Structure 1
Amino acid sequence: MRSILKVLVVFISVTTAFYSCKEKQKEQPKFEGYTINGIIKGANNTYAKLLSSSSLNFNEAVVLDSTIIKDGKFQFSGKVEFPDQVTLMVDKYVSSFFIENSDITVSGDVSNITGRDIRFTLDVKGSKSNDEYEKIKKLQESLFNNEKYKPLEKIRELYAKAKETKSKEDLNKAMVLQEELRPLMLQRNDERVALKYNYVRENPSSTLAPYVLGVQYTEGRMTRDELKEFYNIFKGDARKTAFFKGFITKIYKDNFENIGVGNTAPDFTLNTNKGEELTLSKVEGKYILVDFWASWCVPCRASFPHLKELRKQYKEKGFTIVGVGTADEKEKWEKAIIEDQTPWSHVYDPSENHAYGAVAKSYGVPHLPTTLLIDSNRKIILRNPTKEELDNKLKELMKTIIKKT
């Protein structure tokens, strides 16, 4: 009898312990972070890095995590507060996707990339945010594939040819066709922009929204009123995203707090193409156009003939131009000055890897060309004006000078 009782006690103890362990297992919370399993063909014994997507310049991006790639495979794990876009860097190659707390797999191939191209296509599974973003991208791409916009492809081909041949005749052909097809260009652009704007307005808290808006959020593409409107539209987690905090906020502050109309343009001293030092605050002139450009920038150089006309028209009334070569090779910059026969002062803003130089960065240059019209006290009158805006403002300013004299 005692033997039976002992067996029952042991059985009950073991059973109780077993179910207690099961209960404890049930109570243990499931890992709520992300796991990223990657397979990249053509990559081995090198690093995979996750970078913040707060900057368009990968050299300035923050490294969030890194790991060794072995036999083309790697893994990341962690936890994020909200879905956000990150950039995957494999060796020198990059691709972006949306990370969220889920099991994500990414795969790609860097074995056949040639030339200066550093981007590769990434297949992403397990990220709902990335799936949604890809759908939006396809909607935008469908606009460019629409048959009614096919004639516009010829413009891109002509500009590419002009860049390759450096022929003014080829450049003129591209400009003439662009002017002819301008109504069609504007129609396509209006559709593309409307898609972006509508998504942001309808999804102001979505962490995808800042990336959908993207580089549309620049003064070259938006009016000042639109810059203010869309900066304030974003809510909640959207304002916490890397792109909002890094890119959108910088553009907003450059335009309205740091280097916008009414602010004082930063002073600088750089070497001219003639080997002399030029300091902006010492440049003589009542009104100065500071023009950031590069030899490879077709629109920059296409603007020079008109700038020559303005200089000729208003030089004696105190208008002058200072060209700032940036994101360029010095030899090519010097050659372009000779080829274009631009008679104004030119200075070179040095940098590494053809990135924007220190002066361009201090001016918050978002793209080339970037131009600022300033007065003799370096007060900014216009920032990135259109051709018409610059013409009208100079006409207005010069009338004032004539009345005073």
Structure 2
Amino acid sequence: MKRLLLIAIFLSPLSLLAQFSFVIKGFGKAYNDGDKIFLTYRQGDRLVEDSTVVKNRSFKFKGTFATKVRGYLSRNDNPRFALDLSDSFYIYIDSGQISLTSPDTLNNTLISGTPLNDDYAKLNNALKPVAEKRKKLKDLNQLSTEELKDTAFVNSIKANAVDAYYEAFPIQFKFINEHPNSYVSLLTLAEMARSSKYIPQVAQSFAKLSSTLKKMPEARKIAATIIESKKISEGMIAKDFTQNDVNGDAVTLSSYQNKYVLVDFWASWCLPCREENPNVLAVYEKYKTKNFVVLSVSVDTDKDKWINAIKEDRLPWVQVSDLKKQNEAAKVYGVTTIPANLLIDPSGKVIAKDLKGKALREKLAELLDDK
């Protein structure tokens, strides 16, 4: 399970705010006496870290907080030092007793006991079919050496993972729209806003959130993302830009006029980007003789890491970057999250935005399969 990231909430000094108490009680059939459970959550700009030891397959935490936040539990992996948390679970720090039970590990926890965690349980239950489907997908980390040599096989696994990821979005939108007063909805929407593909739907759900939630820092970030996304829309003429390729030669977007151009924003450090690269490579190889090109814009600042990622992912098309902290082309197109892309037709008009996985393959098939 990839390392979990907390969303920081900036508050006035905690000493000036009321303190509330919580109790967390957990039980897992696969827990062993002596297992260490770590609890991590944020209060303002302070990271709260606690730990306890499993006894009789159970553990318990007691604590206080000034504001409700999301944190997480991890078993036997100290999040301060671990690169990956193999057994972990999100939890909402909420007033009252929070109960967690599991047939095996933290990863499969059932949670209840407070309003926020009850909401979180409802969302998890709705997402269960998608979660079960994801479990059946092959794990790249468990492939044999021979299987890893089969590039087509590996790329198909990555493409399936991307498709499965987006299957959760309609379910999450439904939950958010039905729970406009829940902090769970706000944090879920904040995560979904990182996928530029769904910004129009994010905007619709954001409008339905309560006024109280809209005043929170996470909401302000979502609002800013929505505003930036409107810098370019389908039907507009693509804005020109020039950046240097890996050899330092200037490349201008308009030099690709009279072609279908996929402008792809990515970075070497962006795992979702790297997972989407095989999908882009597949459509490039299929349609490169049918008036289709890819122009990738990296938001990297480290040239060596950028070039190494290009080599590792075997990307044969033109790659450009200005290597600035805020890429100028990304700013022009209102790109606040990656991966992001736009598809431009031979007349220079933007005809689609943020096509990933299956959606990209279907759109190009619609445009180019008969050519």
1:369 aligns with 2:343: no
Describe the shift of the 1:252–1:125 C-alpha distance in structure 2 as closer, same or farther (beyond 3 A): closer
Deviation at 1:272, TM superposition (A): 0.6
| 1:6-405 equivalences in 2 (<5 Å) | 63-65=10-12, 75-78=14-17, 88-90=44-46, 100=67, 113-116=80-83, 124=93, 126=95, 131-142=114-125, 150=132, 152-155=134-137, 157-158=139-140, 160=141, 167=148, 169=150, 172-173=153-154, 175=156, 185=164, 189=167, 193-194=170-171, 196-206=172-182, 208-217=184-193, 222=198, 224=200, 226-227=201-202, 229-247=204-222, 249-255=223-229, 257-295=230-268, 296=271, 297-314=274-291, 319-327=292-300, 329-351=302-324, 357-365=327-335, 367-375=337-345, 379-385=349-355, 386-392=359-365, 394-395=367-368
Q: CA RMSD in A?
A: 5.0
DSSP 3-state at the match of 1:312: coil
Q: d(CA) in 1 for partners of 2:162 and 2:363?
A: 24
Q: d(CA) in 2 for partners of 1:181 and 1:238?
A: 30
Deviation at 1:307, TM superposition (A): 1.4
Deviation at 1:383, TM superposition (A): 0.5
DSSP 3-state at the match of 1:260: coil
Question: Are 1:200 and 1:213, in contact at CA under 8 Å, matched by a contact in 2?
Answer: yes
AA aligned opposite 2:251: L
Q: Gaps (5+ residues) in structure 1?
A: 1-55, 67-74, 80-84, 400-405
Describe the shift of the 1:140–1:381 C-alpha distance in structure 2 as closer, same or farther (beyond 3 A): same
DSSP 3-state at the match of 1:333: helix
AA aligned opposite 2:211: G
Question: Are 2:159 and 2:278, in contact at CA under 8 Å, matched by a contact in 1?
Answer: no
Question: Are 1:155 and 1:177, in contact at CA under 8 Å, matched by a contact in 2?
Answer: no
Question: Are 1:289 and 1:322, in contact at CA under 8 Å, matched by a contact in 2?
Answer: yes
Deviation at 1:209, TM superposition (A): 3.2
Question: Are 1:219 and 1:227, in contact at CA under 8 Å, matched by a contact in 2?
Answer: no
**Cα offsets for 1:343-398 (capped at 9, x unmatched):** 4221125256xxx74543543435543211125775422101322453156339x9
AA aligned opposite 2:284: L
AA aligned opposite 1:132: P
Q: d(CA) in 1 for partners of 2:354 and 2:15?
A: 42
Q: Which has more radius of gyration?
A: 1
Q: d(CA) in 1 for partners of 2:96 and 2:240?
A: 47
Q: d(CA) in 2 for partners of 1:180 and 1:91?
A: 32
Question: Are 1:293 and 1:370, in contact at CA under 8 Å, matched by a contact in 2?
Answer: yes
DSSP 3-state at the match of 2:351: strand
Q: How many residues align?
A: 303
**Cα offsets for 1:206-234 (capped at 9, x unmatched):** 5553224343346666484x445424323
Deviation at 1:170, TM superposition (A): 6.3
Q: d(CA) in 2 for partners of 1:200 and 1:221?
A: 18
AA aligned opposite 1:152: R
Question: Are 1:238 and 1:244, in contact at CA under 8 Å, matched by a contact in 2?
Answer: yes
Q: Gaps (5+ residues) in structure 2?
A: 19-40, 50-63, 98-112
Please identify which structure carries the higher helix content. Answer: 1
Identity of aligned residues (%): 20
